[in-house]
Amino acid sequence: MSAHPAKNSHATEHAGTEPANKKQKKDEYVLYYWGGIPGRGEFVRLAFEYAGVPYTNMQDSAKLLPTITDAAKCGHPPHFAPPALKLPSGRFLSQTPAILNYLAPKLGLAGDKEGEEAELERSSINQLVLTALDLTNETHDTHHPIASELYYEDQKEAAASRAKSYRKNRLPKFLKHFENVLATNPEAKTHGGAYLIGSSTTTADLVLFHVLSGVSYAFPKRMAALEKSGKYKHVFALKERVANEKAIKEYLASDRRRKFNNNGVFRHYPELDGEE
Amino acid sequence: MSAHPAKNSHATEHAGTEPANKKQKKDEYVLYYWGGIPGRGEFVRLAFEYAGVPYTNMQDSAKLLPTITDAAKCGHPPHFAPPALKLPSGRFLSQTPAILNYLAPKLGLAGDKEGEEAELERSSINQLVLTALDLTNETHDTHHPIASELYYEDQKEAAASRAKSYRKNRLPKFLKHFENVLATNPEAKTHGGAYLIGSSTTTADLVLFHVLSGVSYAFPKRMAALEKSGKYKHVFALKERVANEKAIKEYLASDRRRKFNNNGVFRHYPELDGEE
């Protein structure tokens, strides 16, 4: 349902590429994603920002899809939708979880195990990323339950029903899961930090941080009530911890960080929110 | 929305474990998934069946969730939902794409490249698997657009709207993508076979095969019309090719293959289907 922007997502898009930071070099990573929204590209940006690895945003909507869907331009296999990442070698990779699983060991975001244990740790991180992205999809579908090609206004009634179920059942179920993961992490206990796995920041932590930020933007009343319940202390501690990691803190304060808005995955429609 | 069975999914579940085949050994792979339906567990089963690697199904609903959500029983990190795979080492891994990405090189389903090229190939396969599973999710959501905890009968109107958009826009969009991938695969051309990537069967081929089978079960009229259009020849050739791979052909004819039914991910409601 969600691997593409909604109909009006390009509204505030900037054309062309923009440098991610001053260290940018030619032939580095290039992220192909819509401009004007954090969107799913943000999960990839956060990994680069945390690691301090330069990347460029390619967000020219006239070239974006024609490039990544044409094997003559992007190589084989072509892609279904952005985000797609052009690697320094020129090869393209798409699908947020596939991009993150590829990058994680290269960016130091796949834990600190070695040999076969490293592969297992990376797979568990992949698992956690996928579950956090499932929550992203379900959050998106609260405002687009019927058809991604229609406007929200054309599916408001179904959206209200889906958001009600999301607030009451699905969102707490996901938070309970991540609280369980965080509270039972034996390595985080000894280090006193809120890490989903191991005792260092992984792509899973960054993805969960962004999903929680997005859900807080979209459903502020519900998230405030869930935080106040005291049932998800580790989850909200992770959100706080990641926001204050040096590189992330700097990024969030920079103009590289895009603001959430109602063209994106996470949208705030007051009528869909509620304390319960 | 879809990483869990719908409310009535356990109806035809069989309790306990069942041997996958006679080569089964202790301490081999154990797949934790609901009984009675192919479900998302089927994507994992097909990989084992193709590779001829023994596995066991653990589908005792009284033990399933209590085991995989309790870190004291399944180790850290615990899981959100089945399928979860218990590895021979005793470690558990969940999330279909994470399980398949872990297994692919071990089962000879990750292509034939070496070194860094193997990692890139594996990542592209992961990408293709994820897109095919996105189609699975969208197919599921045609019958459960509002809430997974409600019955289909309680969301029929929204389901009709979503299914209409799915038949007209989303399903053809996915088929067009996979046709594009298959038609532009340079290695498949030289070998004359319908392979998504490279010139041997990968997890991506197996996943797409099962999704196409499921969609054909759920939307027989629409799929017949799409096949008749002649626009997706490579896609339907892949479905045929995989169905006739020796190990898969034997498996499909065996009693290990579960039948699609209306408790699963892919459901046939005649009122949701149509030629257009």
Model ipTM value: 0.91
Per-residue confidence (pLDDT) for residue B17, from 0 to 100: 44
Whether the CB of A53 is below 8 Å from some CB of chain B: the reply is: no
Render pLDDT for B26-74 as a digit per residue (tens, 0 to 9): 679 999 999 999 999 999 999 999 999 999 999 999 999 999 999 999 9
Per-residue confidence (pLDDT) for residue B193, from 0 to 100: 80
- The stretch B235-253 carries a mean pLDDT of 97
Indicate if the pLDDT at residue B196 is higher than 90: yes
Per-residue confidence (pLDDT) for residue B72, from 0 to 100: 98
Per-residue confidence (pLDDT) for residue B183, from 0 to 100: 96
Whether the CB of A9 is below 8 Å from some CB of chain B: the reply is: no
| B186 burial via Cβ count (<10 Å: 0-12, 13-18, 19+) | exposed
Q: What letter represents residue A177's amino acid?
A: H
Indicate if the pLDDT at residue A250 is higher than 70: yes
Per-residue confidence (pLDDT) for residue B268, from 0 to 100: 98
User: Cβ separation of B94 and A127 shorter than 8 Å?
Assistant: yes
> Mean pLDDT, chain A, as a whole number?
91
Least confident of A254-258, B14-18, B272-276: B14-18
Distance from CA of A121 to the nearest CA of B (A): 10
Least confident of A17-21, A96-100, A132-136, B198-202: A17-21
pLDDT band at residue B10, thresholds of 50, 70 and 90? very low
pLDDT band at residue A188, thresholds of 50, 70 and 90? confident
Distance from CA of B14 to the nearest CA of A (A): 26
- The stretch A159-182 carries a mean pLDDT of 98
Measured between beta carbons, which residues in chain B are less than 8 angstroms from residue A71? Answer: 180-181, 184
Nearest to B94 by CA among B204, B210, B205, B3: B3
Render pLDDT for A220-240 as a digit per residue (tens, 0 to 9): 999 999 999 999 999 999 999
Least confident of A19-33, A92-106, B168-182: A19-33
Is A162 strand, coil or helix? Answer: helix
Indicate if the pLDDT at residue B191 is higher than 70: no
pLDDT band at residue A25, thresholds of 50, 70 and 90? low
> Mean pLDDT, chain B, as a whole number?
91
Range A152-158 contact pairs with CB under 8 angstroms and sequence separation of 24 or more: A152/A6, A152/A267, A152/A269, A155/B161, A156/A271, A158/B145, A158/B146, A158/B158, A158/B161
Q: In what order do the strands lie in the sheet with B84-86?
A: B17-19, B55-58, B29-32, B84-86, B92-94
Indicate if the pLDDT at residue A56 is higher than 80: yes
Is A94 strand, coil or helix? Answer: strand
pLDDT band at residue B188, thresholds of 50, 70 and 90? confident
pLDDT band at residue A26, thresholds of 50, 70 and 90? low
Indicate if the pLDDT at residue B13 is higher than 90: no
Q: What is the DSSP string of chain B?
A: --SS--TTTTTTPPPSEEESSTT--TTSEEEE--SSS-TTHHHHHHHHHHHT--EEEE--HHHHHHHHT-HHHH-SS--SSS-EEE-TTS-EEESHHHHHHHHHHHTT-S-S--THHHHHHHHHHHHHHHHHHHHHHHHHHHH-SS-TTS-GGGGHHHHHHHHHHIIIIIHHHHHHHHHHHHHT-HHHHHHTS--SSTTS--HHHHHHHHHHHHHHHH-HHHHHHHHHTTTTHHHHHHHHHHHTSHHHHHHHHSTTSPPP-TTSSS---GGG----
Domain annotation for chain B: domains and CATH numbers: 17-106 (3.40.30.10), 116-272 (1.20.1050.10)
User: Contact A31/A68 with Cβ under 8 angstroms?
Assistant: no
Measured between beta carbons, which residues in chain A are less than 8 angstroms from residue B102? Answer: 119-120, 123
Element holding A136 (H helix, E strand): helix A116-143
User: Cβ separation of B177 and A80 shorter than 8 Å?
Assistant: yes
Q: How distant, in Å, are the alpha carbons of A57, A260, A264 from that of A34?
A: 9, 13, 10
